Amino acid sequence: MFIFAPVFYLLLYKSEFIAITMAFLSLIFMRMKFSTLLAASMLLCSSLTVSAVETDQLHGSLDFNNVLTSGAAQVNAPMAFTSDGNVLVTNTQYKNMQLSSFVAKTDKDMSQTIWNLQISGSSEVVAIVPDKTGGAFIGGNFNTKITLPGVDQAITLTGSSSTASPKRNAFIAHINSEGKVTTARAISTTVNQMMVNTYQYYHGDNDQMYCRLNSLVYANGQLYAGLIFTDILYNSDKTNYVEASTAAAYETITTPTFTVGTISMDDLSLTSFPIVFGGKGEHTDKSYYGMNVTSAKLIGDDSHLIFAARVDGYSGTGHLLINNVEKATTNFKAQGGMNTYFLANIELTSNSVVSKEFVGTYQWGGTAEPAINNMLIDGNDLYVSGSFKTDLPFKTDLKSEGTTDAYCAKLNKNSLDVIDAIASGYDETTISAANIPEERLSSFAVDGKMISLSSSASYVPDAYSNTVIMLKPISFTFDGVNKSLDTESTDYIISQAVSADGKYHYYGFLTGDQKSLKYRYTYTDTPSGISEIESKDDAKTKDIYTLQGIKLSAPQKGLNIIGGKKIVIK
């Protein structure tokens, strides 16, 4: 048996994973003190990383055909778990020459559809919040008109129309446990008539007026909607309003502004605007070029609301108002344009705010959208994901490959300090010479302590085009564990969700021909665990935090966040 000792050391330097495996086997079969000491010495070697390729078997048989073949409509389709233990999925379909979105309720085994609610008219569902009775609140955006199946009769919502600004109206609806809509509301912006009367070229002939919903959040007993709007947005009874910022560089225009609206859970009326973030400039000041909130996302827990917004434009002052009180002011100025992310954490009882801005390099010729695509809270970790060009504001030494990259950044939820950020690192220009493809993050989920991410590179960046596109599936992970699924290599992950106990990991797939959706799940008795063990000596050279986000001068025994990774110190 002693002959194996030198072999262990050789294997350790060649393959750390094999070394650990053999050390473990020696403990079982030899049961000798020497083996115990040998195994312990190998585990204490510095920067010892255990990573492997895992192949998970997929279960379930839930399929939808005739899906819409367009880019962003297939990206980041939400999933949610109902209070009665079932799963909600959504996407867009094209049936009988009609465009519609759907929300379907399936059992947890994804073997049958309990109900399938069809929303007729051009629309998209971007958020699902389960209620306490097996139903859910949904939020999304639509063009001129949509019709939803009500309890007694169909419910039709109408909004303003424009060929220049698709999906320009927001909507919120409540679906009961039987798959019927109990109530629904449209949210539309109103043109700023004062600006129209004052400035001849306000908007011009290309009206970009819109209000789009990007988030629906339940926090502190209240339902909130995240909205990006232009011009003027009124509450439901017209007693309160918020006004979007303006710019006056070449012509006087309205610039997109982010607001959080409170939603009554009784009748879904929009009641107030406790949070507003946007620019504010003098309408006649030609030096004010304006700032745009191009994309944003809102998330919350029992006591906080956190939002992330991407700011574009040339120069301008950003204002964060909480219940009409200014809590933060930022001066956005950059050579050639802005590429800035602004984050704020609002404590709902005291209205105290922690806010930070992250500045990257602007690239002429447009920026990657949606730059803020999704957010997720896992304990004290806050994950923000999306797409970027040039360098990532969260981590400016992280550069995009090709035209764009998908990214995911991990921050401390309370301080908003960046712990780490990763990017897909894929050159999507290799899939097309004739077009300019884009790369977008489609979905991510925390599975135990592992975060699984997927993105795509597509020929057609237009979110609402009916042109057939090509998607290139791309996957990347925070912890170095590559997860393989037993599905077709051409299937593209559009959504993910993990059950509260971490045992069920649900996936939505778009098939390679982009005509069908498949929903499947994997099951494990033990969620994915921590994959790194590191010595105290190596840990001293990196930033060290507790799981609560408290910075340490030296690692402590047990679980630490070291260099942006969860590490066990023996």
pLDDT tens digit sequence for 124-171: 899 999 999 999 999 999 988 999 999 999 999 998 876 555 668 999
pLDDT recorded at residue 259: 96
Amino acid letter, 415: S
pLDDT of 6 reads 39
Tokens representing 317 are: 């002052």
Q: Which of 389, 421, 429, 420 is nearest to 405 (CA)?
A: 389
The pairing of strands 53-56 and 482-485 is: parallel
Burial class (CB in 10 A: 0-12, 13-18, 19+), 191: middle
- Predicted pLDDT at 501: 82
The yes-or-no verdict on residue 550 having pLDDT over 80 is no
Dist CA 60 CA 65 (whole Å): 16
This prediction has a pTM of: 0.79
pLDDT band at 338 (very low <50, low <70, confident <90, very high): low
Instruction: Tell me the C-alpha distance between 164 and 247, whole Å.
Output: 19
> Above pLDDT 70, what percent of the chain?
66
CA distance 234 to 284: 25
Name, of 1-10, 19-28, 513-522, the range with top average pLDDT: 513-522
Is the Cβ–Cβ distance between 259 and 277 less than 8 Å?
A: yes
SS3 category, 293: strand
Q: Give the residue-averaged pLDDT of 400-411.
A: 88
Name the least confident of 64-73, 125-134, 418-427. 64-73
Task: Give yes or no for a cis peptide into 555 (omega within 30° of 0).
Answer: no
pLDDT band per the 50, 70, 90 thresholds, residue 436:
low
What pLDDT shows up at residue 506? 93
pLDDT at 527 over 80: no
**165 vs 460, more confident:** 165
**What's the pLDDT score for residue 383?**
93
Radius of gyration of the chain (CA): 25
d(CA 534, CA 523): 29
Please report which confidence band the pLDDT of residue 105 belongs to, taking 50, 70 and 90 as the band edges: very high
User: Per-residue confidence at 17, pLDDT binned at 50, 70, 90?
Assistant: very low
Q: How far apart are alpha carbons 116 and 441 in whole angstroms?
A: 27
User: What is the pLDDT confidence band of residue 216, given thresholds at 50, 70 and 90?
Assistant: very high
User: What pLDDT is stored for residue 300 in this prediction?
Assistant: 93
Q: Which of 3-12, 104-113, 478-487 has the lowest mean pLDDT?
A: 3-12
Give the Cβ contact number of residue 267 at 10 Å: 12
* pLDDT on residue 465: 43
Q: Is the pLDDT of residue 324 over 70?
A: yes
